[in-house]
Amino acid sequence: MTKTDFYYKLANNNEIYRFGACDKKIIGRSENFSFHFVLQGNADVYLNNRTIKLYPDCFLILNSGTHFTSLINSPTEAQILSLSFDVKFINDFINSWTRKNHHLLNGNIPSRLEPYFFSETMHSFNGDIKYNIAHLGRLISKGSRNELLMNEYLYHTLINYFVISYKEIFQRAEKLQVSNQATRTEIYRRLAIAKDYLYSNYDKDINIEDITSEACMSRTHLFSMFKQVYDLTPHQFLVQIRLKRAQFLLRKTDYSVNQIVSLVGFDSPNSFIRLFRTKFHVTPLIYRLSA
């Protein structure tokens, strides 16, 4: 146990586990629905024959029963926060909160715990969920055992997740020009795998065959469906990930621009600077000075 390690099981069987490590391998099975956040550093998670690389800008959901291997191999300490939700707690939540707040989900209320809602994909870690997890992090850093407050943060994390999943899953899946609901769900699931692949391999030289093979879709199908759902081609999506990661490195590290160019997978500093300026309306160096 390091000084940042923390484990607490609440009376309702929800669990909070935070640990820090530079070198650690965990082989396990998710007993409950669990949320995994990388607060610092990065971690690789192997599940369902694919590798997901988690950074602090994304979080991952694991379903009950999923086998996974988590690998941390980092020169600086990575910090992981995992929240595990008891199935009964989630079902009670679905029955109470989602029915009272159906307007936030535009009427798309799950009648039970559906994998559709708990798609094992990466989600953007920003907005309310990031604020609430930061508050929870501060609480456990103080060593507090205030269970009522922990419960409040966990309950709101679920609220935030449901709103995110509605936006990221329902609203996006509905953009697919496919009439059959089951087909739409399956296509969305495959596109989410393609998206996770881009997030997890953005720093490598990705070719389209790698993505199509990962998502089990033809090249034409993938291009057309990906654009419908994410409003960008896979390549444009990849460039956005690289630019966001470069922005993070400019702000948080002392790496030179040339080092960052290579760390995030761009071919040349010139194209990186041009793309960065187009997206953020400022050059990388001026951004760093003002950050």
| CA–CA dist 206, 210 (Å, integer) | 7
φ and ψ of 166, to 5 deg: -65, -45
Q: Which is nearer to another protein, 166 or 188 (CB)?
A: 166
What Å distances lie between residue 110 and 86, 102, 119, 225, CA to CA?
17, 10, 13, 25
Q: Which is nearer to another protein, 24 or 156 (CB)?
A: 156
Residue 63 DSSP code = -
Return the range that interacts with another protein (CB under 8 A); candidates 148-156, 173-181, 208-216, 272-280: 148-156
Residue 184 Cβ, how far from another protein at the closest point, in Å?
A: 28
Provide the total of helices (H) and of strands (E) in the chain, helices listed first. Answer: 12, 8
- 126 counts as binding another protein under rule CB under 8 A: yes
- 56 counts as binding another protein under rule CB under 8 A: yes
| CA–CA dist 283, 16 (Å, integer) | 41
Residues 6+ apart with CB under 8 A from 130: none
Is the C-alpha dihedral spanning 129, 53, 232, 177 positive or negative? negative
- 110 counts as binding another protein under rule CB under 8 A: no
Q: Which amino acid is at 87?
A: V
Per CB under 8 A, the list member of 130, 167, 189, 227 interacting with another protein is 130
Return the range that interacts with another protein (CB under 8 A); candidates 12-20, 43-51, 60-68, 153-161: 153-161
- Contact positions with another protein (CB under 8 A) in 169-228: none
Total residues belonging to the chain: 291
Per CB under 8 A, the list member of 34, 119, 201, 247 interacting with another protein is 247
Q: Which is nearer to another protein, 56 or 269 (CB)?
A: 56
Q: Which is nearer to another protein, 13 or 124 (CB)?
A: 124
- 125 counts as binding another protein under rule CB under 8 A: yes
Per CB under 8 A, the list member of 141, 146, 236, 278 interacting with another protein is 146
Q: Which is nearer to another protein, 229 or 241 (CB)?
A: 241
- 279 counts as binding another protein under rule CB under 8 A: no
Q: Which amino acid is at 168?
A: E
- 277 counts as binding another protein under rule CB under 8 A: no
Q: Where are the beta strands (DSSP E) in 49-180?
A: 50-54, 58-62, 67-85, 122-124
- 132 counts as binding another protein under rule CB under 8 A: yes
Residue 168 DSSP code = I
| CA–CA dist 145, 128 (Å, integer) | 23
- 127 counts as binding another protein under rule CB under 8 A: yes
List interacting residues with another protein (CB under 8 A): 55-57, 125-128, 130-132, 135, 139, 146, 148-149, 152-153, 156, 159, 163, 244, 247-248, 251
